[in-house]
Structure formats: C-alpha cells, structure tokens
Chain A
Amino acid sequence: MTTSRILPLVAATLLATSAGAALAAGELQIYNWGNYTSPELIEKFEKTYDVKVTITDYDSNDTALAKVRQGGHGFDIAMPSHNYLPIWIAEGLVLETDPGSMENFGNVAPEWRDPEFDPGRRFSVPWAWGTVGVVVDTDDYKGDINTWKVVFDPPEELKGRINIVPEMNDVIYAAIKYHGGKNCDGDLEVLKKVRDTLVAAKPHWVAMEYNTIDKMVAGDFAATTDWNGSALRQRLQKPSINYGYPVEGFAYWSDNVVVLKDAKNVENARLFQNFVMDPENAAMISAFNRYANGISGSEAYMPDDMKDAPEVVVPEAFRGNAEFSRTCPPEVQDLYTRIWTDLQK
C-alpha cells in the first residue's frame, strides 16, 4: 500500500460522510439492533423534519448497555428490550421524556400503555413486540401444536427432528410453565422437574441453534422453539409450517424507543418518539422487521401477508395465557444457569 493510493480513498470516505450532514438542519443518532430499522421510516423522518439520521448497530442488550453506561457514546436514541429497560431507568441512563403527553400517544394500544417495565410510559415508546412459542411443520405432525409438550415430551413423529433456540431464559421459562410453575419464584420443587424434563428431552433434539428459518423450510427440523416473526417468515416460504401458542403459558417480549440522558439532539429524539407512534409509521417498522408494533390502527397500513397473520395477531383465545418475560433476581438466575449448565453436558 502506498500513500498515493490511500489518500484519495480516505478523502472520498470523509467527503461521503460529511456531505450528507451538511444538507440537513438537524441530526439524530440512533443506536439500534442490526437489521431492525426500516430504511423507509428513516427516509420519511429525515424528509419531514429536515434531520440527518445516522444508524449504528448493536448485537446484544449487553453491548448496548455497556457502551451507554460509559458515556461519550454520542447516541440520542436506543431500543432496549423490556427485561433490560428497568436497568436503564434505574441507572439513570434514559431521559424522562413523558411520552404519555405526546400528541401521538393516543394511538398506543391499551395493553401497551402501562407496561410493568415502564409504568405509565414515563420513558419509552413501543418499537416492536413479539412472542416466544413453538413452530411445527404440520405435514410431519398432525396433533395439537399449542403446547410445550411438542418439544419437551415429543410425539414419535417429531423425535430427532426438534431444534431449541438456545436462549436460556426462554427455554427455562417454557419448562417452568410446562410444569405449572411461576417464573422467578425460585421454587426448587418445580426447578427440579424442569431440569429432569429438559435433560430427558434433550436426546430427542437434533440441535440447539438460532438458524431456524432455513432449516425448518428445508425440512431439516420438523419443530423448534422460536420467535413469532421468524415463524411468519417460515410459513410464507412453506405453508405447512405453523406457530403454536402453548396453553401452559408463553412470554411476550418488546423493544422500546428511549431517549438517552446524555443525548445531544433531545428535541429531534422526542420528535422521533412521537413519530413512531403514528400508525402509518409504525406499520413501516413492522413491514421491515416482521414483528407487531403496539400501535392501534397500524393494521390498515400493514403488508397484506401480516394483517391477519396468526403469528402477528395473537388469537383472542390464547391472549390469557401470556405474560411478560423478565429478568429474575440474581439468586434465581443462578439456579437457571445451573440447570442450563446441566443441560449442556
């Protein structure tokens, strides 16, 4: 490499990054999960408010929390998951923007107005939410799929073709529900059953991995635990793949838009919080990341394949079985880790 070849390259990159910023009146720095932010949504926001938006990716709640905690990050907005949000609030990392008083707050669906992770919505605005359930190829198994039994005590047809997405808290939560237990109460009686069930079921599993879409569609897996958005993508590629909401109980998760306490562009960040509560805009988020958004009236703008999708719209009959997953107290979390370690042996 000689300098004569590098300099034009450096100059080109610097120009490319500074040219855009010079045109818009304001700026907004968004720190979000990768592959999660609709480009159309951002384009519309930039045009409406004459703001240049920069998106930076993170790959886990832990990375995001670590960077924001240290300060100096330069971000205005982040999207922590519900089980992490209380930590962000407790540590004073987010700004109390009082979304409840914003113009578009009236659009937030009733069940998302006062969630336990941010009572009264003092800090956060819904971005996306979903569920964790089971996905089954009904060509392979004709029985009832709305139960954790499918993966924990599988029928003959599914044995040896089951995948488990290796999210410790989700898997243990499922097994606790399967035994009628309560999450986070650390009931040793139940946890013993949980461990025995998981260890006994493991020989029937073929894998514990994240890459479910391709392998379900290809038929390498006949059933898996999974997130609903992933289930939707699978069914669109192969109609016999269906999503089950276990009657024993299943969990909601959600990611939420917060403004950071050390944000430099607070006004634009507030505008963005209000902006994503508009039904048409919320529908753009969903169309891109394939999850529901918690904004009433967004259905009208959703892509056709999502409007009535059973993966996105939780059927009335199952709604009573859902609750929020949360992060348990450390001593309970330790027990979960021990079960998880036993399972990996």
Chain B
Amino acid sequence: MMNVLRTDNITMQFGGLTAVKEFNLELNKGEIVALIGPNGAGKTTAFNMITGVYTPTKGKVFLNQKSTVDGKEEHKERDITGLRPDQITKLGIARTFQNIRLFKDLSVLDNVLIANHLRIDSNVFEAIFKLPRYKREEKQMVEKSMSLLEKVGLADSRYEKSSSLPYGQQRRLEIARALATDPSILLLDEPAAGMNPKESEDLTVFIKEIRDEFDLTVFLIEHHMQVVMGISDRIYVLDYGITIAQGNPYEIQNNQRVIVAYLGVDEDA
C-alpha cells in the first residue's frame, strides 16, 4: 500500500492542556480511514494540525506526493508541518468543517467557484480586463463547478443563497466545494452529523463513489457508527487526545478499551 500522508507523533498543547498527544497516522492511497472517539477527544484538533490551522507543538506531518521528473515517476515525501492552510490545500489536501463553514451570503455556485480560485493562473489585471486566458479559465471553472454541483444534486439551486439550503444539502455543498480544490486527500469532519439513517446510507455510498471517481484518499471524523463501520478500511480511536486503538472495523468493535471509552466502565462489573 502506498503511503500518501503520515504524521509523526504530532502533539497539540494549548497552554497546560494537551489536546492531542503523539498521534501517528498513516493514510494509504485509496483508503477510507476513520477517526472516532468521544466528544472532546481531540479529533478536530488532529484535523486542524494536518490542514495547517494549528501548528503542532511537537511532531511532524509528511505528505507523500507523486511527481514526474524527467519522464520518471517519483515519490517524494515532503514535510508540511506548520504550513498555512492555503498552502496545504494547494498541495492537495481539502477539508470540510464540523460546524459547516459555507460562505453564507454567497450563492451555491459561488461557493464552489471560490474553491477553484487557488488553481488560477491569470493575474488580477487579466481578470479585470477579461483577457483571453482569464476568460478561458473562468469558463473552465464554471463548467467544473457545475459538474460537481450536479454530482451532489444541487445544480438547480445554483443561484440560491447557500444559507437558504436545508441542512443536509449544505453538507453536500461543503463536500462539493472541497472537491473543487482538486484534492488528492479529502478530510471530512462529521459529514453525517444531523442525518437520518437513510441519508447516512446515501452518504456512505456517495463517499465511496467520489473516492473512486476522483481518485481520493479519505480521512473522516464521524460519530455515526453505521457510517464508520460501513465505510472504513481502518479506524483510529482517540480518547482525551491519546490513541487508544487502531485497526479494522471488526477489531475496533471488539476492543475493550474502545467500548469503555464510549460507554464508561460498569461499576458493578
């Protein structure tokens, strides 16, 4: 299995509080990996360290990228620790947010279009004076965004204000937006939050589809055990910032420490 991302003992300390301690993650190409754990376990913090929102207090994050040099395919591991979020996104890591961060006052289409901006080659003069290269790029961005919106079933709402969409559609829009950045690795923060069982099932299918269609590696935080068990190749479990287990779904389901972390210890046991 080819590694695309790995973290080396990343730790996040806020003053006296250690939110995440020595987290070691390995993502291999095409995998769907889940990060679970009780609330406050540090899962989003781990995400934030990988995507550059936080700089780890200790440890490093490595991105393994394919590039073609002199006709030969090379794999180069690159230290991305402490890079800014926009730099990390440009390198191909995209994310969604736990508390949906859409551009509320902007239209559905604009939300996705914005995520295309990072790949633009034209400069601002070309954009203002509508020079040929810009016009071409704009057309491509619109086409790409529309096709993504169709994929998530939001093409008809493209001119509506994104905040006017129902909750489930907003979540899908966020995923479409993340996809528009041309990622190779997609981080989803609780994509199934607030969904009913049918919606969660659809989401599971959807994630597998986009993984295949866009050649992605997916890393997700999720509480919906149905989704997690149904979709993940491997699972990491965090509790109070510490990795208490990792393995495939079957192993995790039967792991005593995991059960205790979620359900607490039975006093009479």
Do A and B make up one complex?
Answer: no
